[in-house]
Amino acid sequence: MATMDKRQQFSGMVQEHQAITQQIAALQSQLSELEATVDYVKSQPEDRAIYRNAGAVLVEVDDRASLQNDLKSTIERVTLALERYVTRENEIKAAYETLAKELEGSK
């Protein structure tokens, strides 16, 4: 592969790595928020109302168990997405390092 093509590929990897890093941070933040929400729901007394977003309005939750199941399901989906992004990040890092060594060797 020509050095110019390798540089373009390297640049693309850097951009993809930055995008993935941002996604990982966003998913980690979302996961923390979801876990805090689960803890909050568990800590609230049964006689105290809990609300959830339904579009642009808040609606009182009648079935806390259903809400907790929804939250746990969302946590599982976010965790799986996070794992996929971390795996991809590691793949890009490895390819990035290999390509960087190739570029250094072609100077």
The set of long-range contacts for 95-103, using a CB threshold of 8 Å and a minimum separation of 24, is: 95/13, 96/10, 96/13, 96/14, 96/17, 99/6, 99/9, 99/10, 99/13, 100/10, 102/6, 103/3, 103/6, 103/7, 103/10
pLDDT attached to residue 90: 95
- Average confidence (pLDDT) per 10 residues, the chain, 107 residues: 77 93 98 96 93 93 94 98 97 89 76
The Cα–Cα gap between 49 and 44 comes to 8
pLDDT attached to residue 55: 92
Q: Helices (DSSP H) in the chain: which residue ranges?
A: 3-43, 64-105
Find the distance separating the first CA and the last CA of the chain, reported in whole Å. Answer: 14
pLDDT attached to residue 1: 56
- The torsion angles phi and psi of 45, rounded to 5 degrees, stand at -60, 150
pLDDT attached to residue 58: 95
